[in-house]
């Protein structure tokens, strides 16, 4: 299916966000969890800048995405939390402004590190802030089969919800992620 994606702008505050009423899906997660890489894998092109160094995304980067004949929506790549040297002091205010718009959010967690305190705190915050949220386990391809099963079981237990495993490198889980995004953008 054809995917059209374009970078719209970087937002330093909620006042910089689009106001045209399109659905938004915010990607929330620790620094270096793979938010930007996942966007590139989803849209099948390099629209989001990526880096191996954590803390590179410092603003909310907004991408307008249209898949097939569907309605356009925005993917909002928020800066990562939990990386002090990267200057994340404004994360809460920026993320609060994005999530305060009653949109959807996906919490991205690294499958190799299930149940981190910062991820659990982010999930509690998200479930209290938005109507539609889900947990996505990134970098699932980095785990052997047995480790995957244990990690997903632990993640499901920690977050008390189903967790979608994905890999930006191999494409595993991307179709299921599209279905999840479609559900969240249509259930407004």
**pLDDT grade, residue 159 (50/70/90)?**
very high
pLDDT score of 180: 94
- pLDDT grade, residue 130 (50/70/90)? confident
* In 26-140, alpha helices (H): 35-43, 91-99, 117-129
Give the predicted TM-score (pTM) of the model.
0.88
Say how far apart CA 132 and CA 25 lie, in whole Å: 9
Per the CB < 8 A criterion, the answer to whether 83 and 54 are in contact is yes
Residue 182, helix vs strand vs coil: helix
Per-residue pLDDT tens for 73-127?
999 998 888 754 444 445 565 666 566 555 799 999 999 999 899 999 999 988 8
Are the beta carbons of 27 and 76 closer than 8 angstroms? yes
- How much is the average pLDDT of 31-60? 82
* Residue 89: predicted pLDDT: 44
* Average pLDDT, integer, range 29-54: 86
Distance CA 48, CA 37 (A): 7
């Amino acid at each position: 299916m054809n995917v059209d994606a374009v970078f719209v702008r970087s937002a330093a505050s909620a006042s910089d966000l689009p106001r045209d009423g399109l659905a938004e899906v915010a990607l929330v997660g620790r620094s270096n969890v793979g938010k930007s890489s996942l966007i590139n894998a989803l849209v099948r092109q390099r629209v989001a800048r990526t880096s191996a160094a954590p803390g590179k995304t410092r603003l909310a980067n907004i991408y307008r995405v249209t898949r097939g004949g569907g309605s356009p929506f925005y993917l909002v790549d928020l800066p990562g939390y939990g990386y002090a040297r990267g200057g994340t002091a404004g994360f809460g205010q920026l993320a609060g402004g994005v999530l305060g718009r009653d949109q959807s959010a996906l919490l991205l967690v690294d499958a190799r590190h299930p149940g981190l305190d910062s991820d659990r705190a982010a999930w509690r915050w998200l479930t209290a802030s938005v109507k539609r949220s889900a947990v996505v386990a990134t970098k699932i391809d980095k785990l052997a089969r047995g480790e995957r099963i244990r990690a997903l079981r632990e993640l499901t237990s920690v977050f008390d919800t189903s967790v979608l495993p994905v890999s930006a490198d191999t494409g595993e889980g991307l179709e299921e992620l599209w279905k999840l995004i479609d559900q969240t953008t249509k259930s407004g």
